[in-house]
């Protein structure tokens, strides 16, 4: 959620930047400022009435103690004020509700270096591996490899749950476990503290990181207990610091966690959902940092370097995109996507997305730090996948297929205990 101060300080600039993000209801900015004006005015009036009531009530207390009959007169006066108070209070509540409802609809403002553009076509490639892997005769896409070596069974998943819930078998399952261990170990090496987290969160948590109300339909909702299955570890990880006031010396806070992720993916069909490309349940190791506003962009670069390091270790051909305004998420100020190239599918697969949210999340989280002169300032939050497993697995299977079988990348072998799937 954007800070009201920012809107008020420079509404024209805010509108310009919202436009870059392809946000249509620009006049919402003016509506919000008007609502805030109204809210402030009514609140000042309400508070004057409350002050008057408090004063008179105190007088009544003294009069009653002295058994003074004038107490009854004062009581009558307060009763009159009370009606006004109820009326004003309703008005203030109304304005506050409307203001909040509008404010929540505004997406985060894009950073200056975010490219103009509306779709994925407009994203800027900031790095691409020099040589794409050569195509070989008879290369199979991962869903065929999965079947050939009996390491993933999509039909069994359908039997248990439906499409998008694959069952990993034998070496396939071990490879998943190895990837999780590898990613967590690497994150630990980079100084991230590992957390094991709940896979369901409350409405409050989902709201604080911005999944609600924006992405209501994307999450599985356990209605009996009003809990949401997490779409990413970002939600519990970042909510750990909801309503927290940090000291400046606490920065940076670096957290990591492995969780399964659950996404309804309503409306996604076609070739994009083939095999491991898009699932309802998948595994991911997430990294999160909480940082001082002055350092968050340097931190974003650090996090990108970490992700890049993983892809290099796994020897996967990758590229890095700076997302354009129209393709960025609602909550992000700057996002880099990492994609792995699959020859067998002839396409790039998104395996990580690293973002700086600036104070957009911390505003709702009420995550702040205390400055030397005791001011409380919103911290910046960042997160990234490091990494999401299914497409990494797809990449490994497709890129390392040989006539003998699928070669396991060297860095993973100490976690798998085998070097080939045959």
How many other C-beta atoms can be found within 10 angstroms of the C-beta atom of residue 241? 23
Report the C-alpha gap between 22 and 325 in whole angstroms. 7
DSSP state of 77: H
Taking contact as CB under 7 A, which single stretch among the options 43-51, 174-182, 212-220, 286-294 is the one that binds RNA? 43-51
Q: Which residues make Cβ contacts (< 8 Å) with residue 138, sequence separation at least 6?
A: none
The three-point CA angle 351-356-361 to 5° equals 110
Nearer to RNA, 121 or 247 (CB): 247
Report the C-alpha gap between 343 and 361 in whole angstroms. 38
**Which of 1, 7, 35, 60 is close enough to bind RNA by CB under 7 A?**
60
Taking contact as CB under 7 A, which single stretch among the options 53-61, 228-236, 249-257, 341-349 is the one that binds RNA? 53-61
Nearer to RNA, 195 or 245 (CB): 245
Residue numbers 361-380 binding RNA by CB under 7 A: 368, 374, 376
How many other C-beta atoms can be found within 10 angstroms of the C-beta atom of residue 21? 22
Which residue has 């896979």 as its token pair?
Answer: 199
CB distance 59 to 74 below 8 Å = yes
Taking contact as CB under 7 A, which single stretch among the options 21-29, 56-64, 312-320, 402-410 is the one that binds RNA? 56-64
Nearer to RNA, 378 or 392 (CB): 378
CB of 61 to RNA, least distance (A): 3
Nearer to RNA, 68 or 122 (CB): 68
**Which of 38, 53, 148, 295 is close enough to bind RNA by CB under 7 A?**
53
**Which of 54, 119, 193, 371 is close enough to bind RNA by CB under 7 A?**
54
How many other C-beta atoms can be found within 10 angstroms of the C-beta atom of residue 200? 18
* 82 touches RNA by CB under 7 A: yes
Report the C-alpha gap between 152 and 406 in whole angstroms. 14
**Which of 13, 16, 62, 305 is close enough to bind RNA by CB under 7 A?**
62
Determine if the peptide bond prior to 213 is cis (ω within 30°): yes
Report the C-alpha gap between 224 and 216 in whole angstroms. 17
Number of residues that bind RNA (CB under 7 A): 27
Q: Which two tokens stand for residue 290?
A: 């909480």
Q: How far from 305 is each of 63, 181, 268, 352, CA to CA, in Å?
A: 72, 19, 31, 12
Nearer to RNA, 10 or 44 (CB): 44
* 51 touches RNA by CB under 7 A: yes
Report the C-alpha gap between 213 and 226 in whole angstroms. 14
DSSP state of 401: B
* 38 touches RNA by CB under 7 A: no
**Which of 16, 40, 271, 315 is close enough to bind RNA by CB under 7 A?**
40
Q: Reduce the DSSP state of residue 68 to 3 states and report it.
A: coil
Nearer to RNA, 47 or 101 (CB): 47
Q: Which two tokens stand for residue 136?
A: 């070989």
CB of 422 to RNA, least distance (A): 36
Nearer to RNA, 46 or 304 (CB): 46
Residue numbers 221-260 binding RNA by CB under 7 A: 245
Ranges of H-type helices in 286-388? 296-313, 360-365
Q: Report which of 78, 24, 29 is spatially closest to residue 55, judged by C-alpha positions.
A: 78
* 70 touches RNA by CB under 7 A: no
Nearer to RNA, 78 or 156 (CB): 78
**Which of 6, 28, 33, 78 is close enough to bind RNA by CB under 7 A?**
78
CB of 98 to RNA, least distance (A): 16
How many other C-beta atoms can be found within 10 angstroms of the C-beta atom of residue 96? 15
DSSP 126-148: EEE-SSPPPP-TT---HHHHHHH
**Which of 12, 24, 79, 131 is close enough to bind RNA by CB under 7 A?**
79
CB of 391 to RNA, least distance (A): 33
Taking contact as CB under 7 A, which single stretch among the options 39-47, 153-161, 345-353, 390-398 is the one that binds RNA? 39-47
Report the C-alpha gap between 390 and 237 in whole angstroms. 21
The upper half-sphere exposure of residue 391, i.e. CA atoms within 13 Å in the direction of its Cβ, equals 25
CB of 53 to RNA, least distance (A): 6
Taking contact as CB under 7 A, which single stretch among the options 49-57, 140-148, 162-170, 350-358 is the one that binds RNA? 49-57
* 407 touches RNA by CB under 7 A: no
**Which residues are at the interface with RNA (CB under 7 A)?**
40, 43-44, 46-48, 50-51, 53-58, 60-62, 64-65, 75, 78-79, 82, 245, 368, 374, 376
């Amino acid at each position: 959620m954007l800070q009201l101060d920012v809107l008020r300080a420079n509404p024209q600039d805010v509108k310009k930047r919202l436009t870059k993000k392809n946000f249509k209801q620009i006049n919402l900015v003016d509506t919000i400022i008007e609502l805030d004006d109204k809210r402030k005015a009514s609140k000042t009036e309400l508070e004057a009435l409350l002050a008057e009531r408090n004063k008179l009530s105190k007088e009544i207390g003294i009069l009653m103690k002295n058994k003074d009959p004038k107490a009854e007169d004062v009581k009558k006066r307060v009763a009159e004020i009370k009606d006004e108070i109820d009326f004003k209070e309703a008005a203030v509540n109304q304005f506050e509700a409307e203001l909040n409802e509008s404010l929540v609809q505004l997406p985060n403002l894009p950073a200056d270096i975010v490219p103009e553009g509306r779709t994925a076509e407009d994203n800027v490639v900031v790095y691409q591996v020099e040589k794409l892997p050569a195509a070989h005769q008879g290369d199979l896409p991962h869903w065929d490899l999965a079947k050939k070596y009996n390491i993933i069974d999509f039909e069994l998943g359908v039997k248990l749950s439906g499409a998008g819930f694959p069952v990993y078998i034998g070496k396939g399952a071990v490879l998943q476990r190895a990837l999780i261990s590898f990613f967590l170990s690497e994150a630990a090496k980079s100084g991230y503290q590992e957390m094991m987290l709940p896979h369901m969160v409350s409405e409050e948590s989902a709201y604080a990181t911005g999944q609600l109300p924006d992405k209501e339909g994307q999450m599985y909702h356990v209605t009996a207990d009003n809990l949401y299955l997490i779409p990413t570890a970002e939600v519990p990880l970042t909510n750990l610091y909801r309503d927290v006031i940090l000291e400046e010396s606490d920065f940076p806070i670096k957290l990591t966690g492995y969780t399964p992720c659950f996404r309804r993916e309503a409306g996604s069909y076609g070739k994009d959902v083939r095999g491991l490309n898009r699932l309802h349940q998948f595994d991911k190791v997430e990294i999160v940092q909480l940082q001082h506003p002055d350092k968050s962009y340097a931190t974003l670069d650090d996090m990108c370097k970490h992700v890049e390091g993983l892809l290099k270790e796994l020897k996967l051909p990758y590229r890095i995109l700076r997302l354009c305004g129209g393709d960025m998420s609602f909550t992000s100020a700057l996002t880099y996507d990492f994609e792995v190239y699959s020859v067998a599918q002839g396409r790039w697969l998104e395996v990580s997305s690293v973002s700086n949210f600036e104070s957009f999340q911390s505003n709702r989280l009420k995550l702040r730090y205390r400055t030397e002169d005791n001011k409380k300032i919103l911290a910046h939050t960042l997160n990234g996948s490091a990494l999401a497993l299914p497409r990494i697995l797809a990449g490994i299977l497709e890129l390392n297929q040989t006539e003998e079988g699928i070669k396991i990348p060297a860095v993973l072998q100490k976690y798998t205990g085998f070097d080939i799937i045959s």
